[in-house]
Amino acid sequence: MQLSLARHPVTEIRFASQTRIEDTLLVVNAGELRQLVLEDEALAAVDFDIVRPGDSCRAGPIFDIVEPRAKAPGSGSDFPGIFGAPTTAGMGTTHVLAGSAVSILAEMSPGEGRSATGRVLEMSGPVVAASDYSSLQHLLIIPHTKPGLSRQVVLKAYRLAALKVAVQIARCAIDQAPASTQSFPPIDPSSQDRRDLSRVAYVGQIFSRQRKPGVDEPILYGANTDGMLPVVLHPDEWLDGAVVPSLNSWFGGTETYFYQNHPVILELYRRHQAREINFVGTIATIAGSDQFDRERHCRAAANLIQWNFRADGAVLTKYGGGLPHADLAETARLLEGMGIRTAVMVSDSSRDRRVESALLFNFPEVNAIVYNGGNGTKWEIPRVDRVITATPEMARLLEGPMSIEASNIIGVMNQQGASRMRSLVY
């Protein structure tokens, strides 16, 4: 299995009559994209906009961010299972418009209980140093869905629109020579040429059964995760469209862009290439809804790490809030009991800022803990020249100045490894 990412840097996006890439300029035909998106009967209309790093601009709520990518002919499907058959991702050549993003807005917030603003994209001001998304060239999709539709139908329309546009604009690079190509070293758990190196695996949650997935909700190869047990994935499958977020992912760094550039997997690859470790593979799992679910999923994941990968160590990340926290901890506890050293990534989602609320597990053997940020950081953000939203009501809410928590600025607080946040004891 071998994935090659053909990278085409983008430093500017403009609208024009033909979608094309000229050096580092991406030119986009908005009319062509509008026609593509409006094939979905859930959408009544759609607008597009462009935002650049440093613009006095704020956009939100952001439903998803996708890096524009397209498979070369003969290399498989784009987002297999969503577009076309669920062929294996992670093989052949994928063309990448690096430095750009397709970002789609939502017409509603997650709800007052979680956030009135939803996740906001900031392109200027004091926050930009904390989010990688502020440094990208964004093509914004501003959807307008038909009235009377269920929330599930609306959210799925958002997801498909963003993925369609990202693939469509990236196809303009397929016949162009890339500026660089990135390939990943072979991963072979049975290889004998790294016997002197520690065998390290990754366990990543991709859903939490705090919510029941929709029947037609695409998460893993276009299917929902109902009844799913932990499954072995090649690392390249994560990076190449096998996994997309749940439709109800409003928090915790679960954008499609995150999976396409999964920082834990890329770091394990880097250490594998440097012969610091033997990266032997990955497990995709979900968090259970009760103790029976938890026991089943955690033991199955730990057994795969021990028996299939014969790992010496494992890195674990969670998906979402408190319930996934418990599954993460129990899987790590089981692995430690098997003699497999673990490192876990956690965030503090407590709102009252008390240790008693933040401490969701206390296993002495699970003691390599990486903090990914929490609700303790806030910014005072100024009024901006341009606010981009899908509704006038949201525009008034976001125009600023305002106080906003780290978890409500997209790209800042990430529960799966893509975060610049850290915890200091003082």
pLDDT at 117 over 90: no
Residue 350: the pLDDT is 62
- What's the pLDDT band for 92 if we cut at 50, 70, 90? very high
How far, in Å, CA of 294 to CA of 326, rounded? 8
How far, in Å, CA of 286 to CA of 228, rounded? 8
Q: Is the dihedral of CA 53, 58, 59, 60 positive or negative?
A: positive
pLDDT digit string, tens, across residues 25-55: 999 999 999 999 999 999 999 999 999 999 9
pLDDT at 269 over 80: yes
Q: Is the dihedral of CA 367, 372, 374, 379 positive or negative?
A: positive
pLDDT at 373 over 60: yes
Q: Are 318 and 324 in contact (CB under 8 A)?
A: yes
- What's the pLDDT band for 348 if we cut at 50, 70, 90? low
Residue 327: the pLDDT is 92
pLDDT at 82 over 60: yes
Q: Are 416 and 203 in contact (CB under 8 A)?
A: no
pLDDT at 252 over 60: no
**For the residues 106-134, what does the mean pLDDT come to?**
84
CA distances from 322 to 117, 158, 245, 408, 411 (A): 22, 27, 18, 18, 20
**HEC sequence for 231-262:** EEECHHHHHCCCECCCCCCCCCCCCHHHHHCC
**For the residues 149-169, what does the mean pLDDT come to?**
96
How far, in Å, CA of 243 to CA of 255, rounded? 10
Task: Burial-class residue 129 by CB neighbours within 10 Å (0-12, 13-18, 19+).
Answer: exposed
Angle at the Cα of 369 from the Cα atoms of 230 and 225, rounded to 5 degrees:
20
Q: What is the mean pLDDT of the chain?
A: 90
Residue 271: the pLDDT is 96
